Structure 1
Amino acid sequence: MIAVQALVRWIASSDFAPAPLVGQDRMPLWNLVSLRIFEGLSMALLVYLIWAYVVTPWRRTGALSLDGKFVLGGVAAFVADAFLNCYTYLFAWNAHNVNMGVWTAYLPFHNPAASSRYAESLLWGPPMYVYFCAGVAIVGCPAYFAMRSRWPELSNVSLLAIVWVGEFAFDFVVENLAIRLTHGYAYAQTYGPFTLWAGSQFQFPLYESFLVASLGLLYTWMRLQAVTSPDGLSPVERGFERWSPALQSTVRTLAAIGFCCAATILIYHLPFNWLGIIGASHAHLPTYLLPG
């Protein structure tokens, strides 16, 4: 309900328009081209994940798989992305992103002094919430089983730790390539002791990859529980049988989507905001990365 009211009020407001491009800094053409390629590849990946894990299983069985629920949950969790700048401008957005502004002013706890006129990406933003969560779980589970087969002496904790390291490395590489090649976003204010290249446009908080990997590992663990369970249920779906048969499928779907949204806020957004707000490392940003 919080997400729906925020989106409806935003769409009905004058804020529903592309964010203004302020200042005189010009974005290099090759970075702009890279941004458009990044947007296109991100949307292509999202379409693939929706087709492969939502549409195809639905057409084949008439029901959503856990992967499909996680894909939809990632899209739903993207609404919470506007929480990143609810208090102050921590996450910088490029005004050249394909955008219609942002809905942050219509979310709870928004600081009226914080800008709500910046370019939340509509093309590469939602896919990130899918491939860094559902996507890494889809890849992480086969990797887990392959390692367990190759090294049976390793404990479950050790195997999951290796998966976490892989997810950390994946996020670190993808994000640093994205911020350097596309200028699509930047980390405007971070906690200095945990920040690489502090003060530059490309400063990167290591806790970003830590939090993203931890969130991805939770998705991976949840999927592992379903795959290894005799009834194929993830922990968040259990108890659905207490509902009437007509509602059971809907309850399972909403439980999985609710897990995605709650996990995103609790594991990623709250720690990220806390560390950013207490941080004092300010990036030197071109004007096209500043809010209007």
Structure 2
Amino acid sequence: MLTDSPSRRTTPDTLGADAQRGAVSLWALLGVAWILFVGQAWTRWVLSDTQFGPAPIQGPDVFDGTALVVLRVIEVVSLLIAAATIWVFLIKPLIVQRKLTLDGMIVIGSLLASGIDPLINYFHYTFAWNAHALNAGSWLAFFPLHQGPTRYAEGLAWFVPQYLYLGIGLAAIECRIILALRRRYPSIPNIRSFSVAFVAIFCVDMVIEQVFIRTRVYAFPRAWEALTLFAGTPYQFPVYESIFVAIYAAGFTYLRMSAHDSADGTPFLHRGIQRWPSQFRTPVKLLAVIGFCAVWAALAYFIPWSWMSVNPDSIITPPSYMLPGPTTP
């Protein structure tokens, strides 16, 4: 957890100024909008006769034996990491501090933000999922104006945990790096400390991605060759994937550090909360974080990724068990 290190003196005048400048209500409104959107998508998906259920496993390629065992191990480890993340950042602070902390809100917001995941295949099937993974299909069919295939396997046991450990988990590491650099070099500029942390997280994600690609959990069938490692092979990896992930984690790092550097421990997202009656402040703060998580996931990862998937020049055909099934009406 971050420790408080006030950077300026808190006075009634500064609190009043923060209340006037803050946009917490706007972020909370975005949170409400996201809950409504993802709620309708998930509800219609679960009630659907054609979209809800395990995606079909296409032949003739086979995925069994050791490969299948490795996939199950990855799923179990992912779930354990998710459980540990939820305990450390949400449940334990809630028990000890008797309140919902910023980290706890980020955990909840990240879990809800996972509903944006089908956007990665909004235009094309640019992220190939292994249909042998635990899944119930995809809810892309309930995103308006989608153009990509809708019958593929969102790996529930591993992709949802990624929203936690690639977000709040990597952000916690980044914050530790930044604070360590500040202690070692007290005059270090923020741009330098944040950049060092960014590069470290970029390298960490590069390793994580290779584990998932080499074990055939997923593949990247459409990529830009100039920015892709092992281009043209079944294991091709677009480096900009790790760049986007590092940007995603950096957003949560900045959010946490803004609370650490604030005199009153309030992150930039919650400025203006004084305008709300005390009994509504925690729900409004939570809604603001939910809004931030969804918006940041879209801006940092999904929108640029979807744009870069439109005209790639390194296109491969993944194994048949990663191909989408026929779209049903």
| TM bin (shorter chain) | over 0.9
The answer for the alignment partner of 1:150 in structure 2 is: 184
8 Å contact kept, 1:73–1:258: yes
For 2:77 and 2:285, how far apart are their aligned partners in 1?
A: 31
The answer for the alignment partner of 1:255 in structure 2 is: 288
The answer for the alignment partner of 1:41 in structure 2 is: 77
Paired AA for residue 93 in structure 1: W
Q: Pick one of 212, 220, 228 that aligns with 1:187.
A: 220
TM-score, normalised by the number of residues in structure 2: 0.85
Q: How does 1:103-122 map to 2 (within 5 A)?
A: 103-111=139-147, 114-122=148-156
For 2:97 and 2:303, how far apart are their aligned partners in 1?
A: 38
Paired AA for residue 67 in structure 1: D
The answer for the alignment partner of 1:8 in structure 2 is: 43
The answer for the alignment partner of 2:311 in structure 1 is: 278
Paired AA for residue 37 in structure 1: V
For 1:27 and 1:97, how far apart are their aligned partners in 2?
A: 11
Shift of 1:280: 2.5
8 Å contact kept, 1:200–1:285: no
Paired AA for residue 249 in structure 1: T
Paired AA for residue 291 in structure 2: G
Identity of aligned residues (%): 37
Runs (4+) of structure 1 moved beyond 6 Å? none
TM-score, normalised by the number of residues in structure 1: 0.96
Alpha-carbon RMSD: 1.2
Deviation per residue, 1:118-174 (Å, 9 max, x gap): 000110011111111111111211211112212334322111100000110011110
Paired AA for residue 12 in structure 1: L
For 1:280 and 1:290, how far apart are their aligned partners in 2?
A: 19
The reply to whether residue 163 of structure 1 matches residue 197 of structure 2 is yes
8 Å contact kept, 1:72–1:257: yes
The answer for the alignment partner of 1:99 in structure 2 is: 135
Deviation per residue, 1:59-95 (Å, 9 max, x gap): 2233211111111111111100011112110100000
- Segments of structure 2 that go 5 or more residues without pairing to the other structure are 1-35
Max Rg structure = 2
8 Å contact kept, 1:199–1:284: no
Q: How does 1:1-292 map to 2 (within 5 A)?
A: 1-14=36-49, 15-111=51-147, 114-181=148-215, 183-292=216-325
Paired AA for residue 85 in structure 2: L
For 2:230 and 2:64, how far apart are their aligned partners in 1?
A: 21
Paired AA for residue 72 in structure 1: I
Which range moves more in the overlay, 143-152 or 64-73?
A: 143-152
* SS at 1:216 equivalent: helix
Shift of 1:206: 0.8
8 Å contact kept, 1:93–1:289: yes
For 2:231 and 2:65, how far apart are their aligned partners in 1?
A: 26
> What count of residue pairs does the alignment treat as equivalent?
289
